[in-house]
Amino acid sequence: MNLEVIDRLIEKDPSLESSRSSLEAMKEGACCIHRSWGFGQISGFDQEKDMLLIDFEEENRKNHAMDPVFCIGKLEVLPDEHILTKHRANPSEIESIAKKEPVDLVISILVNCEDGCAQSREIERIIGFLLGSAKGKKWWTATKKLLVKDPRVAVPNKKTEPYVLRDEPVKPEQEVLLDFFDEKRSAHKIILAEKLFDLASEKEDLQADLPRVLNELTVAIMEARNLSQAERLYGIWVRNNLARDVEEDVEKLEPTSSSILEECKDDLPGLADQLPTKFHRRFLDLIHRVYEDNWKPLIVNLLQNTSFKFSGECAHFLVDQEETKLLLSSLNKSLDEQILKAPVLLWILKFRELSKFKDLLATLIGPRLLTAVFSAIDYESLQNASTRRIPLAEILSDDRELLPSILDKGTAENAKDLAQALILNPGFEDLSKKSLLARFIKIYPEIQAILDGEHGSGASSDSVGQVTDDSLIVSQKSYDQKMDDLELLNKEKIPANSQAIEAARELGDLRENAEYQMAKDEQKILLARQSELQTDLMRAKPTDFEDAPVDFVGIGSIANLSDSNSGESQKYVILGAWDSDPDNNILSYLTPLGQRLLGKKIGETVETEVEGNVQSWKIEGLTRWVDSQ
């Protein structure tokens, strides 16, 4: 804008005088950043409408008209020396610096920031404009590792702290060493010690300070009351890294890693899940070394009872130790018993095509795996009252090749049972459920009949505990939990969201108001959850299971089963629609096995089919669940 236009705007509204410099910066050709539409360049000014014209790259908006007064404080106009402005003028030069001298590019960004400081997200955003979002993230991840060792930039210890351009270069390891000796908190002391190990390229430089470092680190590990056992083990490994690198005999340093392992032997999964990911393999090597004659069952137990990442590391470890048969047999056994937990199931689905595991996992991909997946999703949805997506449900929905590959290994009868389980599963969003059912129907068109209501799934009890109408039999406990969830939505979450929407309205033009759009999106999620809960509760019929039958399997029965071939025994509790607890062998009556068992008497059998193999289970005994409480 020229001075004449600016003077005219100020004449109309004298309060704009204090913003004259901001208006003067809005000149033709100036680069700018809008919080919603990203990077752009001012292309001109519409004299008739008194509107700025801006070309935004991200939204492909050419000559987009904006009120200059509205832009004050909302549109960041960049100076000529800004890296983005330079990139617009000479992209090849800036991209060459990004490739050859990445730290110099970050320094160029910091030079133009207030006080030479910028948060990681601010730098990453600018890099995204320069290199593109995906490429920029990879570049920034790699460059952060280089910044740690550059004396010109102070790298933050916490995510909330900024990167700072130093007035004078300082060796990073010397700065960390000072921070280490000043730090009083044991957990932070360990982190700084590890950082010191990573930074010191010449470990001999630490010789003078090493005795004090090792002594303070050992004291922190042994005496700090606020450290968990996982943090102590982590600290021991950091200490040993430092000591070993300068030829210190780590075997003489107490405490040892094996002493921590012995103290935690009864809860190795709990210890494993608290360790940093980079130490997972080291933990498994430690178990292998300490329990030389009994490490295999310990690793299998960790595989089945730890987080997704640690479960995967256990699988890698077993294969590397040439124990592929052990890995496969343990997975098969757990799958037969339907006790595989969500992290292991997620690992199987995500890494089924990895060359290292492809042949091994191919034998597991089938209807029984999908049954286990649905059970895990159902269980997680009942444990989680929020609207956060469930990883297993997400991969099943997003990977369009997964479901067909599973269904191809089963029969039409398998597919019908699984489709029914999907319809009743609360862990999927409605659109995801419809998409998955469409994949069922594409392979088995007869499943369309289930959706059309030709095979009802009802829920009121008849004489054998089957379901004959649209109601749901639920326990009083699960019904109360749903009521509590609905009350929380109605009294706290939805009112809070309404206040957020009203507050966002006050920020201005709704078309450019990111806060308003986020609040409205959250409103849609909350109202959908509210509608789902209301529908479920209207269908629900709470019960204490006192009416459970004694002479046949009904809702509220405990069935003792035995494998007709192997004699293996299993016990299942059949409870309400929202009571599934696979860890404790509690089944919802809506599960495929629950449906097969309902109405059966002692001596009768039910059959399950796994990859074409029929397994027959005989009912050896029946009791009522309420009588065991």
DSSP per-residue string spanning 479-523: HHHHHHHHHHIIIIIHHHHHHHHHHHHTTS-GGG-HHHHHHHHHH
- 442 and 392 part of one domain: yes
- 526 and 598 part of one domain: no
Mean local confidence (pLDDT), 369-389 = 79
CATH number of 480's domain:
1.10.287.180
- 60 and 94 part of one domain: no
The Cα-based distances of 542 to 10, 529, 547, 611 in angstroms read 69, 21, 12, 37
Give the pLDDT score at 343. 94
CA nearest to 522, candidates 485, 495, 487, 488? 495
Domain count, the chain: 5
Give yes or no for residue 324 having a pLDDT over 90.
yes
- 69 and 115 part of one domain: no
- 71 and 139 part of one domain: no
Give the pLDDT score at 385. 53
Cα 561 from Cα 566, distance rounded (Å) = 12
Give the pLDDT score at 75. 86
Lowest mean pLDDT, pick from 198-212, 295-309, 439-453, 454-468: 454-468
H helices of 358-492, in order, are: 358-362, 367-383, 391-398, 402-407, 412-424, 430-443, 448-451, 476-488
Range of the domain at 404: 368-457
Answer yes or no: is 176 within a domain.
no
- 380 and 402 part of one domain: yes
Q: Residue 509: pLDDT band by 50, 70, 90 thresholds? A: low
Mean local confidence (pLDDT), 571-587 = 88
- 514 and 446 part of one domain: no
Q: Which value, in Å, is the radius of gyration of the alpha carbons in the chain?
A: 31
Answer yes or no: is 63 within a domain.
yes
Mean local confidence (pLDDT), 314-342 = 92
- 531 and 582 part of one domain: no
Give the pLDDT score at 546. 86
Answer yes or no: is 415 within a domain.
yes
Domain boundary among 543, 567, 589: 543
Answer yes or no: is 284 within a domain.
no
Answer yes or no: is 198 within a domain.
no
- 378 and 453 part of one domain: yes
- 416 and 443 part of one domain: yes
Mean local confidence (pLDDT), 253-261 = 86
Mean local confidence (pLDDT), 239-252 = 73
Mean local confidence (pLDDT), 122-131 = 90
Contact predicate 176/192, CB 8 Å: yes
Give the pLDDT score at 217. 86
Mean local confidence (pLDDT), 456-484 = 64
Answer yes or no: is 566 within a domain.
yes
- 26 and 63 part of one domain: yes
Give yes or no for residue 202 having a pLDDT over 60.
no
Give yes or no for residue 327 having a pLDDT over 90.
yes
157 vs 190, more confident: 190
Mean local confidence (pLDDT), 449-473 = 52
190 vs 537, more confident: 190
Domain boundary among 77, 107, 125: 77
Q: Residue 355: pLDDT band by 50, 70, 90 thresholds? A: very high
Give yes or no for residue 482 having a pLDDT over 80.
yes
Answer yes or no: is 141 within a domain.
yes
Answer yes or no: is 307 within a domain.
no
Give the pLDDT score at 357. 93
Q: Residue 204: pLDDT band by 50, 70, 90 thresholds? A: low
Mean local confidence (pLDDT), 349-365 = 92
Q: pLDDT tens across 11-59, in order?
A: 888 899 999 999 999 999 999 988 777 889 999 998 888 889 999 886 5
- 50 and 93 part of one domain: no
Domain boundary among 31, 51, 77: 77
